[in-house]
Amino acid sequence: MRFSSAIRTTLVGAAVVAALAASTSQLTAATLVGAGPGPANLAAPIVNQPATIESPLREADHPALFARAAATRNAFGFPVGSSRVGLHVQDDIQGAAYDEVTEVNSSGQPMAMTQFNSDGSLLDAVRFDSPALTLLVLSSDSATRTALRALTASGMAPSGQVRTEADQSAGGWDLHWDRAQAGFTVRGDETRVHVWRDGRIQSVARVEHKLAAAPIHPIGRAGALLAIVRQLTAWFGAASSGYAIQTMDLEWVGSNAAFDATRIVAAAQPYKLAWVANVRPSGAASESLQLITLYVDAGNGTVIGGDVAE
Amino acid sequence: MKRARRLLVSVLLATSALGALAQGASAFQGVVWSNSDSFSYRCLGITDTFPQQLYSMARSRMAALGYGPIGGAIGPSFSSSAFLDTVLPSWAVYVHSHGDNYWATSGWPRIDSAFLQDPGPTRCSHYKTDAVRSSAIKTATLGTRYNLVIMSTCRLGSTLSTMPGAFQIEKVKNNTQREFFLGYVNATYDGDMLRFERAFWSYLSRASGPRRTLYRAFTYAASIGGYDAPDAADPFQANWWGNPTYDGRPG
């Protein structure tokens, strides 16, 4: 990289010399730093952001955690390291706390990792090596059978229909069993397994949020539609954009700060039953925005969050 | 005489400038850019808070990795010219905006991927005026290598994307150079980018435990699940190219 560094310095330096040679009377600070009309803003302070705090966990002090990690590793066929490193992580970046056990090889390199909630339930298990080079074409059915066997062996047998997606980055299949409660999807909650093309499991995750009580008299589809149209009219009335509601479904969702900056630092709340509307913008908004998703509280009709695809 | 004095002053200033630039280069500048005006109340009728959240996190975590000073901007200062003028001396580049794999100016079937600059305070985005194309970036980077490039946009992590090449990053997963490109394959929710990038930066941020690499941070972030998708044709998928053993530190 030293070579590259030298090239970078030389190139930038050469640009400056060229600028100077071209016009010695137009030597300005802007030329020196190569700044265009928009400042590089190098002096802007780095605002303190959340971080992680780790505490070491020794196997002798936490035998149950390490036994759980070993059982999980074995159920998913992950590699066995020459040693294990345990950590309790207060992860303020992700807004979570968990215990983590990493399988480490003799060179100190992580081979696989498992993370558990404070109640001992699995959050995530992942191996860090690469898939074997293979000409095998693994079908999604075979991948599903492999995943189901491993999940059953680890006591995590999922229910419901599997959803499969071919993975462009790592190859193989992403398998999702979406969680439902009282007949409604819990948005984002799932058991997810990634199976490599060589038939080995790369990762398993379980995402499960607490749910609030469902409203006794949830707003019906017609009432929700009125609330959503009222909201969209208020939003887009002032802009040269239109909208078309594509879908509207009841789901359990987490309120979020998507459209309300005051909620950015708010503590996570149990998921609520909400009408989830996918809205396709048209006009000026469609140049930069492909989809707006709104969460409308099924109890009181207020917008409690959503998402955007830019 | 006057002309000779001016020349002498110029040479002295040039020497001084080169010294400062060499120092700047060895200081491993990073840049973080985020388009916010496209997603403001004025343009959309809503204020999308994700650009600010992603921008703040990326600045902080890029600095924690060892890059500095951290330049770039959120809002109107994120212009095409500002980006292109400051990309050369940078070692790490982060962009959050709308992104896509557009046809090249020569037309189909050539692709020239792009993201949109911030449109500024008086108008809204249009790709014809606001696209910062990979071909323009390629010209501005002059063949220089980059350590870390993150395109926090839709579609620039797709196999069609020409954006990695703008930073001289080959689309392979076994490179041995100190380089790593991260992007998203499909149309992607901002909420998913935030979830993914939080996990990615979180894994890298650990002060203790085994050695961390960008590939492992990526693999961990991809593994945690919980990602939504705008529709069935656009499942959440992040992608990377570069060196699987690189730890992301500058140099």
* Domains assigned to chain B: 25-242 (3.40.50)
- Cβ distance A94 to B228 less than 8 Å, yes or no, reads no
Give me the number of domains chain A comprises. 4
Over 70: is that where the pLDDT of A292 sits? yes
Ranges A29-38, A260-269, B36-45, B221-230: which has the least confidence: A29-38
HSE of A61, CA atoms in CB hemisphere, 13 A: 8
HSE of B208, CA atoms in CB hemisphere, 13 A: 14
Q: What percent of chain A has pLDDT over 70?
A: 83
Whether A215 is covered by a domain: the verdict is no
Residues A125 and A149 in one domain: no
| Token duo for residue B53 | 């959240």
Residues A259 and A291 in one domain: yes
**What letter would DSSP give residue A305?**
E
Over 90: is that where the pLDDT of A63 sits? yes
Residues A25 and A75 in one domain: no
Domain that holds residue A8: 2-33
Res. A42 pLDDT band, cuts 50 70 90? low
Q: Using an 8 Å CB-CB cutoff, list chain A residues near B126.
A: 287
Whether A44 is covered by a domain: the verdict is no
Whether A248 is covered by a domain: the verdict is yes
What is the per-residue pLDDT across A242-282, written as a single tens digit (0 to 9) for each?
789 999 999 999 999 888 888 887 888 999 999 999 999 88
Whether A39 is covered by a domain: the verdict is no
- How far is Cα A189 from Cα A298, in angstroms, rounded to an integer? 19
CA B133 to chain centre: 13
Q: What is the pLDDT of residue A7?
A: 58
Whether A246 is covered by a domain: the verdict is yes
Please name the residue that has the structure tokens 């960008």. Answer: B214
Which residues 149-188 of A have a C-beta within 8 angstroms of B? 165, 167-170, 174, 176, 187-188
Residues A94 and A64 in one domain: yes
Residue of A99, A253, A288, A293 for testing the chain B interface, max B β-carbons within 10 Å = A288
Residue ending a domain, among A141, A174, A208, is A208
Q: What is the pLDDT of residue A239?
A: 62
Q: Using an 8 Å CB-CB cutoff, list chain B residues near A203.
A: 219, 222-223
- Cβ distance A239 to B42 less than 8 Å, yes or no, reads yes
Q: What is the pLDDT of residue A23?
A: 34
Whether A216 is covered by a domain: the verdict is no
Residues A125 and A140 in one domain: no
Residues A233 and A274 in one domain: yes
Res. B15 pLDDT band, cuts 50 70 90? very low
CB-count exposure of residue A282 (10 Å: 0-12, 13-18, 19+): exposed
| Closest A-chain CA to B219 | A128
- Cβ distance A310 to B154 less than 8 Å, yes or no, reads yes
Measured at the CA of A260, the angle between CA A259 and CA A262, to 5 degrees, comes to: 160
Q: Does A29 touch chain B (CB under 8 A)?
A: no
Q: Strands A303-309 and B29-34, how do they pair?
A: unpaired
Whether A229 is covered by a domain: the verdict is yes
Residues A179, A185: contact at Cβ < 8 Å?
Answer: yes
Mean pLDDT calculated for residue range A68-90: 96
- Cβ distance B43 to A170 less than 8 Å, yes or no, reads no
Checking phi first, is residue A41 left (phi over 0); if not, alpha (psi -120 to 50) or beta? left
Res. A218 pLDDT band, cuts 50 70 90? very high
Residues A36, B189: contact at Cβ < 8 Å?
Answer: no
The pLDDT mean for chain B works out to 89
Angle (deg, nearest 10), helices B2-26 and A2-22: 160
What is the per-residue pLDDT across B126-142, written as a single tens digit (0 to 9) for each?
888 999 999 999 999 99
Residues A100 and A139 in one domain: no
Residues A69 and A15 in one domain: no
Pick B26's closest partner by Cβ from A5, A190, A310: A5
- Cβ distance B199 to A291 less than 8 Å, yes or no, reads no
Residue ending a domain, among A179, A208, A237, is A208
Residues A119 and A136 in one domain: no
Over 50: is that where the pLDDT of B48 sits? yes
Residue ending a domain, among A150, A173, A208, is A208
Q: Strands A291-297 and A303-309, how do they pair?
A: antiparallel
- Nearest chain B CA: its distance from A93 CA (Å): 6
- Cβ distance A4 to B69 less than 8 Å, yes or no, reads no
Q: What's the predicted TM-score (pTM) here? A: 0.89
- How far is Cα A27 from Cα A20, in angstroms, rounded to an integer? 7
Res. A81 pLDDT band, cuts 50 70 90? very high
| Token duo for residue A3 | 């070579």
Pick A168's closest partner by Cβ from B17, B86, B239: B239
Residues A97 and A53 in one domain: yes
Residues A58 and A124 in one domain: yes
Most confidently modeled of A224-238, A261-275, B152-166? B152-166
- Cβ distance B125 to A110 less than 8 Å, yes or no, reads no
Mean pLDDT calculated for residue range B187-212: 92
Whether A43 is covered by a domain: the verdict is no
Q: Strands A162-166 and A173-181, how do they pair?
A: antiparallel
Pick A16's closest partner by Cβ from B7, B21, B158: B21
